[in-house]
Every structure is written in structure tokens, then in C-alpha cells.
Amino acid sequence: MAAKIIDGKMRAKEVREGLKNEVLALKSSGTIPKLSVILVGEDPASHIYVSNKEKACSEVGIASEIHRLPSNTREIDLMKLVAKLNDDKNVHGILVQLPLPDQISEENILNSILPNKDVDGLGAQNMGMLVKGEGDPFIPCTPQGIIDLIKTTGIEIKGKNAIVVGRSNIVGKPAAILLLGQHATVTICHSRTLNLKEIISKADILVAAIGKPRLITGDMIKEGAAVIDVGTTRTAKGWEGDVDFDSAKEKAGYLTPVPGGVGPMTIAMLLKNTIKAASKK
Ligand code: GUN
């Protein structure tokens, strides 16, 4: 039976509609939520992502500003800009677009963002709280969007075998922790995993976030599995996911498309986190 295609674009729109009301409520109490985005260098994909974030902010009524810095920016100068935004009472969320040029330590920069403005949730404090299950941290946007899509589609997570392919700090690791928090039995696979095919074939829920176009084909997927494709690689054929869509849709029970699956959810969750930051103030 062909898989049900999970429409991330539609769900993201629904989330944004709900957020508009929250922005109105904040504004009527005198707070204009504001996101500051820092983009260093010329990576074309990053420029597209950042423009999309700016558009999405304006659509729901969040103020935004983009700081575009040259690729030879020194770490100390980026630190100074982050410090300035940390001190700016009108800025509620700070996002440093990744990847950063080689001369800048991603770790130093992400950890220099005040935890209560770290709307990407990638700093050590928010990530540590997420792992420990403490308090109310900012949750990284893509994994948060994945869980939203799974839950709103009505897929049961509790007790299921969830396999996450990819161990990045942005997606794989936090996605695994969130699935664990929803009581899945979680396995993380990566580029060095032996017998990947055998492990993947056990997945009731499969999250593919390894950045290798079409690595996962229908023959590897368990009949009826929920397959969430986070891969977005630009190839000669356009944007491609980690999952071979045509063969996967014959085996999976649910499948996210690329584009139009997880991507729009990432931005919707960023808006949600920014409103949360402004509300906490
Ligand atoms: N680059 C690709 N995805 C992301 C993301 O979610 N956050 C940041 N800061 N950079 C990214």
C-alpha cells in the first residue's frame, strides 16, 4: 500500500496561523518579539535559509534583523556582536546561521549566546537541559518540528523502535533524545555503523538525517514504518532527501517529502521559540 505523505508545508502553515495570535497578544501587552540572525560568509544555501526565516518572521508579525558579515570575520568580532545582541533588551532571540567559516569556533559562538535568547537551542545550557530533562529549554528547531509532525499525524511513539540515522548536534542527537522522551526505544546510526540496512529494517519510526541523497531505499524499510526525511542536499536534480522517495512510498506507512516535509517545520519552530523567548522576558 502506498504511504500517506505527511504534508509539512500545510502543518507549518497551521502552526504559523496559531502563532499570529500569540504575537498579537504579546504586542498588546507592549512586547514586539524580535529575532536577530547572524549570517557569516557567502554559503548560497545559508543565504536562502536566512531569507526564508526573515520572510516567515514578517508574515507572523515578528520583527527581525539580519547581520550579514564577511567570510573573513574574526571570532572576536562575532563574539562582540553576540554580546551586543545579548545586551539589547529589544532582541529576544539570537540565531547564528551554521556552518561558520573555519577560523571561528562554532562551540565558542553558540555558547556565548545568552541561554534565554538561544532560540536555536544549540548552546550547551539548553542542550544539557534537554538531555537531562530539566526545566523548559529551547529545543532545536528541526527535531522539534519532527516530533510535531509525528504527533500531529497521529503516529504513536511510545514503545516503538525509533532509528535515527545521523548524529549531528543540530538534528540527530536532539531528535534521538526527544524520541526517548516520548518513550521510544531509540537507536542512533551514523556513517560508521555496520549493517545499517539490517538496523534500519527494524525501524517503526525512521528519522533520516545524514545528508547522503537517496541512501535509504524502499527495500530497507519495514512495511508500514513512519519515515521522516530530514536530508536536503542540493544536487543537479534539485533538492534531494536521504530517502529514495519513489521506492520508499511503496513500503512506508507514512513518508515526508523533500522539499515540503521537515524543512517548513524548522522555520515554524524557530518562530515558536522566538515567541517563547519574548514571552519569558
Ligand atoms: N544551518 C542549517 N540548519 C540550521 C539550523 O537549524 N540552525 C542554524 N543556526 N544553522 C543551521
Q: How far is the CA of 122 from the centre of ligand 1 (A)?
A: 9
Q: Which residues pair with 35 in a beta bridge?
A: 64, 93
pLDDT digits (tens, 9 = 90+) for 245-263: 999 999 999 999 999 999 9
Nearest CA to ligand 1 atom 8: 97
The confidence score (pLDDT) of residue 233 equals 93
List, edge to edge, every strand of the sheet that includes 254-255: 4-5, 254-255, 226-229, 205-208, 161-165, 185-189
Q: What would the mean pLDDT of 102-115 be, rounded to a whole number?
A: 98
Q: Are 4 and 227 in contact (CB under 8 A)?
A: no
Cβ of residue 142 lying under 6 Å from some atom of ligand 1: yes
Residue 281 has pLDDT above 80, yes or no: no
120 as an active site residue: the answer is: yes
Q: In this prediction, what percent of the chain has a pLDDT beyond 70?
A: 100
Q: Of 208, 226, 203, which Cα lies nearest the Cα of 150?
A: 226
Does ligand 1 lie within 6 Å of residue 95's CB atom? yes
Question: Coil, helix or strand for 185?
Answer: strand
Q: What is the CA 96 to chain-centroid distance, rounded?
A: 14
Share of residues in the chain with pLDDT > 90 (%): 97
Q: How far does the centroid of ligand 1 lie from the alpha carbon of residue 213, in Å? A: 19
Taking only the tens place, the pLDDT of each residue in 199-217 is 999 999 999 999 999 999 9
Burial class (CB in 10 A: 0-12, 13-18, 19+), 66: middle
- The active-site residue, picked from 34, 97, 144, 160, is 97
For residue 144 and ligand 1, the question of a CB distance below 6 A is answered with no
Q: In 3-state terms, what secondary structure has residue 102? A: coil
Q: What is the mean pLDDT of residues 57-61?
A: 98
Kindly report, residue by residue over 110-165, the tens digit of the pLDDT: 999 999 999 999 999 999 999 999 999 999 999 999 999 999 999 999 999 999 99
pTM tops 0.95, yes or no: yes
User: What number does the ligand 1 atom closest to the CA of 95 have?
Assistant: 9
* 267 band by pLDDT with thresholds 50, 70 and 90: very high
Could you tell me the distance, in angstroms and rounded to a whole number, from the CA of residue 171 to the centre of ligand 1? Answer: 9
Looking at the DSSP assignment, which residues form a beta bridge with residue 162? 186, 205
The Cα–Cα gap between 262 and 168 comes to 16
pLDDT higher than threshold 70 for residue 32: yes
Q: Does residue 273 register a pLDDT over 90?
A: yes
| Binding site membership of 139 for ligand 1 (Cβ less than 6 Å) | no
Question: Which grid cell is 206?
Answer: 525512521
Could you list the beta-strand ranges (E) of 41-92.
63-69
**Mutate which of 67, 82, 97 to test ligand 1's pocket (most atoms within 8 Å of Cβ)?**
97
Q: How many CB atoms lie within 10 A of CB 125?
A: 18
> Stretch 183-188: mean pLDDT, rounded?
98
Question: Counting Cβ atoms within 10 Å, is residue 111 exposed (0-12), middle (13-18) or buried (19+)?
Answer: middle
What's the average model confidence in pLDDT over 13-41? 98
Please say if the pLDDT value at position 234 is more than 80.
yes
**pLDDT level of residue 10 (50, 70, 90 thresholds):** very high
Look at ligand 1, atom 11, and give the residue with the nearest C-alpha: 98
The rounded mean pLDDT for the chain is 97
Asked whether 50 lines ligand 1 (CB < 6 A), one says no
Which one of the listed residues 34, 117, 118, 120 is annotated catalytic?
Answer: 120
Pocket flag, ligand 1, residue 96 (CB < 6 Å): yes
Q: Which of 245, 253, 240, 165 lies closest to 210, judged by CA?
A: 165
Q: Phi then psi for 267, rounded to 5 degrees?
A: -70, -40
- Asked whether residue 242 carries a pLDDT value surpassing 70, the answer given is yes
97 counts as catalytic: yes
User: What is the Å distance from ligand 1's center to 97 Cα?
Assistant: 5
* 275 band by pLDDT with thresholds 50, 70 and 90: very high
Phi, psi of 42 (to 5 degrees): -115, 15
Alpha-carbon span 28 to 172, nearest angstrom:
38
Q: What is the pLDDT of residue 109?
A: 98
What confidence score (pLDDT) does residue 1 get? Answer: 72
